[in-house]
Structure 1
Amino acid sequence: MSEAVEPATSSSETTSPTEVVEGSIDKSEDFVEPDTKRRKLATKNDDKKHKLEDRLGGILCCAVCLDLPKAAVYQCTNGHLMCAGCFTHVLADARLRDELATCPSCRVEISKTSATRNLAVENAVSELPSECQFCNQQFPRNSLERHEEQECDERISGCKFSRIGCPWRGPLHERPEHENQCNHPHRTGAEVMESLKAIDQEMADERKIYDSIFELLGFEKILFNDIQLKPYRTDEFVHRLFYESSRFSAFNNQWVVKARINNSQKDPTQSSERGLTYQLILKSKTTTPMNLSYIVLRGPVGDIKVKPSIHQFEFTEQENESPYLPLRLPDSNECNRLLAAKVINFRLIMFLASK
């Protein structure tokens, strides 16, 4: 019998399994990063994700605006948090819709009496770091405002010659260099006077108000009443919110103050800008015209933030309602705060011109 002859194979065509595995390992190792480098990359990518302050920021944020509160923090009976601005906005919207205010998270009823301040959260948020808007460095929130207003060298500043027309604004540390090269100190007197006109006009308008008040204080008949406005609803198909005071006596007549939101806008909840206007109404009959000046101030009871403004109207038997005039509040947040309260308190001073 002839022996079976195995086919010959060349060394180039045969490769041992061990060599194949080792070759693939060698090639893959060229693209695999060392363990130490992988750990550093993972730590770097997940550093922000796992920072305690970032996790706390997500837990302590307001349930409405999803931002960390800057001042007071309120909570519902179930512990959901709201910043002061959002809390008053929710209460104001509920009053405008004639509904019960509810927590945006759990829908439990909230009010000024049922909701409570969370002082622990307020203190914790004040210690969390926040980034300066100018230098991008991080500081505790309770010291960030001081840093941005008084300490940061990158905060925006104006030239000391801005009163004579220099428009430059830039980082504080660049201010000395600019002022040394500023051309405005070398301008002529006529050019400087043009720049001062706007400042003079602003000061003149403010002084006019105070001069008018002192002039009114010289009137023979002056009375003041501490007014309390209460919320009511109109009888229309869509009930609108308005405010009205009880009758009060002044100059042997009966008076009432009314107020409305956004000049009786159909749906004030759809507007982010809110304001109050008010009018003075003479309820009793008068035989002689009454030339009356009046002004609204904060008063000893309420805490309304209103800028003084003098109004004048001549009340007669036919014209017994003054036009609606704006209550000069700082912003919409102050209006929401007043709407969230049960009543609005202020002092009304009335001056009657002698005939």
Structure 2
Amino acid sequence: MSDTEAATATSSAETVPETSDSAEKMDEINEPETKRRKLNRNNDNDEKKNRLEERLGSILCCAVCLDLPRAAVYQCNNGHLMCVSCFTHLLADARLRDESATCPNCRVEISKTAATRNLAVENAVSELPSECQYCGKEFPRNSMERHEDQMCDERTSGCKYSRIGCPWRGPKHESKQHEQDCPHANRSGAEVMEALQIIDQQVADERKLYENIFELLGYEKITFNDLQLKPYRTEEFVHRLYYESSRFSAFNNQWVVKARINNSQKDPTQSSERDITYQKDPTQSSERDITYQLILRTRTSCPLNINFIILRGPFGDMKIHPRIYRFDFTEQDNESPYMPLSLPDTAECNRLLAAKTINFRLIMFLA
């Protein structure tokens, strides 16, 4: 090849990318104006949408925990918003301190009657996008719970052999592969007995509870009362909060139910040494529980062997795990020990404390 032909080939090769670049530029120039305006408008809309969501999130957040509410939203008379958990936490703290609850922003008084639900904010927050804690994708808040519990492939799952001791937990999409290779599938009967014994014990405890209830239902003397626990204060230097029901009749005697918070802790609004969550997150209540006792108010000539159980009554919405307690009441020993009111968590305890009264049903069995 001559020098002239080589130079010509080199120059033509160099002009190929320039020609392609110029062709792309020409395509952009020749692109319809309406299409270009539409693409630019979509980009602007995406930016505006993101900015709007961020602004709405900062406006609609709870005034206490500064997070977007997941359930009910309350507002004070001046319109400041509080999620239901923070709202009940404020009311519970005020009840324990014998003070009036106030809005953390404007200090106006708040209560179950002085504050109102804001349905517009609840609906608006439910439509705002939220990020899945497992896969990181965004979904509307009203569908996030279903996605995380049932749909997300990255959600935490356990092995189907967990009943025989497999501790594996991982993403849902990895569970099938793990179960194929799980060593617990080939364990001997002797090796899985320990895990099965724990499960058997749990089942036995639950079965014993139901068997006791059915046995008690066969007693000749059974009575129930729908009661209310109302808050009272002791007349000590440091006023302590306790709850007491009005007198009621059962088995020709007068009775009273009395309850206290955290076993009459000096200041139930403060976290205990075992409660580290409160120190990390002040919006979460300290660990709280309610215990109660049954008191015989009249004299009795013979011992009364009483079994009793507290349930959610027809006029209340208490979430409780039923437990049966037994005590022999005599003239000298007319007060049962304080028994735990088996609530699922501290949030339920706060919700009950925030209410003016605690409604429940007491069933008593006389042996």
What's the TM-score, normalizing by structure 2? 0.82
Report the counterpart of residue 293 of structure 2 in structure 1. Answer: 279
Deviation at 1:183, TM superposition (A): 2.2
Report the counterpart of residue 69 of structure 2 in structure 1. Answer: 69
Deviation at 1:55, TM superposition (A): 1.2
Q: Is residue 106 from structure 1 mapped to residue 92 from structure 2 by the alignment? A: no
Count matched residues: 308
Deviation at 1:193, TM superposition (A): 2.4
Q: What CA deviation, in whole Å up to 9, does each residue of 1:272-309 have, x standing for no partner?
A: 11111100000000110111100000011111111100
Q: Is residue 303 from structure 1 mapped to residue 303 from structure 2 by the alignment? A: no
Native 8 Å contact 1:62 1:69 kept in 2: yes
Native 8 Å contact 1:60 1:125 kept in 2: yes
Distance in structure 2 (CA, Å) of the matches to 1:83 and 1:60: 10
Distance in structure 1 (CA, Å) of the matches to 2:182 and 2:358: 51
Match of 2:358 among 319, 324, 344: 344
Report the counterpart of residue 160 of structure 1 in structure 2. Answer: 160
Match of 2:336 among 300, 322, 325: 322
Report the counterpart of residue 30 of structure 2 in structure 1. Answer: none
3-state SS of 2:269 partner:
helix
Report the counterpart of residue 15 of structure 2 in structure 1. Answer: none
Distance in structure 2 (CA, Å) of the matches to 1:186 and 1:218: 47
Report the counterpart of residue 78 of structure 1 in structure 2. Answer: 78
Change (3 A) 1:234 1:147: same
Deviation at 1:195, TM superposition (A): 2.1
Distance in structure 1 (CA, Å) of the matches to 2:68 and 2:186: 48
What's the TM-score, normalizing by structure 1? 0.84
Report the counterpart of residue 122 of structure 1 in structure 2. Answer: 122
Where do residues 161-176 of structure 1 align in structure 2 (5 Å cutoff)?
161-176=161-176
Report the counterpart of residue 33 of structure 1 in structure 2. Answer: none
3-state SS of 2:225 partner:
strand
Distance in structure 1 (CA, Å) of the matches to 2:86 and 2:354: 11
Distance in structure 1 (CA, Å) of the matches to 2:114 and 2:327: 43
Report the counterpart of residue 35 of structure 1 in structure 2. Answer: none
Deviation at 1:192, TM superposition (A): 2.4
* Gap regions ≥5 residues in structure 2: 1-42, 272-285
3-state SS of 2:66 partner:
coil
Distance in structure 2 (CA, Å) of the matches to 1:185 and 1:331: 35
Deviation at 1:114, TM superposition (A): 1.6
Deviation at 1:50, TM superposition (A): 6.5
3-state SS of 1:202 partner:
helix
Distance in structure 2 (CA, Å) of the matches to 1:349 and 1:236: 33
Deviation at 1:97, TM superposition (A): 1.3
Distance in structure 2 (CA, Å) of the matches to 1:174 and 1:292: 53
Distance in structure 1 (CA, Å) of the matches to 2:49 and 2:332: 71
Native 8 Å contact 1:260 1:278 kept in 2: yes
Report the counterpart of residue 242 of structure 1 in structure 2. Answer: 242
Deviation at 1:139, TM superposition (A): 1.0
Report the counterpart of residue 57 of structure 2 in structure 1. Answer: 57
Distance in structure 1 (CA, Å) of the matches to 2:131 and 2:163: 32
Percent identity between the two aligned chains: 77
> Given residue 83 of structure 1, which amino acid in structure 2 is its aligned partner?
C
Native 8 Å contact 1:228 1:346 kept in 2: yes
Q: What CA deviation, in whole Å up to 9, does each residue of 1:66-115 have, x standing for no partner?
A: 11100000001110000001111111111111111111110111111121
Deviation at 1:266, TM superposition (A): 0.5
3-state SS of 1:51 partner:
helix
Distance in structure 2 (CA, Å) of the matches to 1:167 and 1:270: 36
Distance in structure 2 (CA, Å) of the matches to 1:284 and 1:175: 62
Distance in structure 2 (CA, Å) of the matches to 1:273 and 1:252: 39
Change (3 A) 1:179 1:342: same
Report the counterpart of residue 221 of structure 1 in structure 2. Answer: 221
Native 8 Å contact 1:48 1:54 kept in 2: no
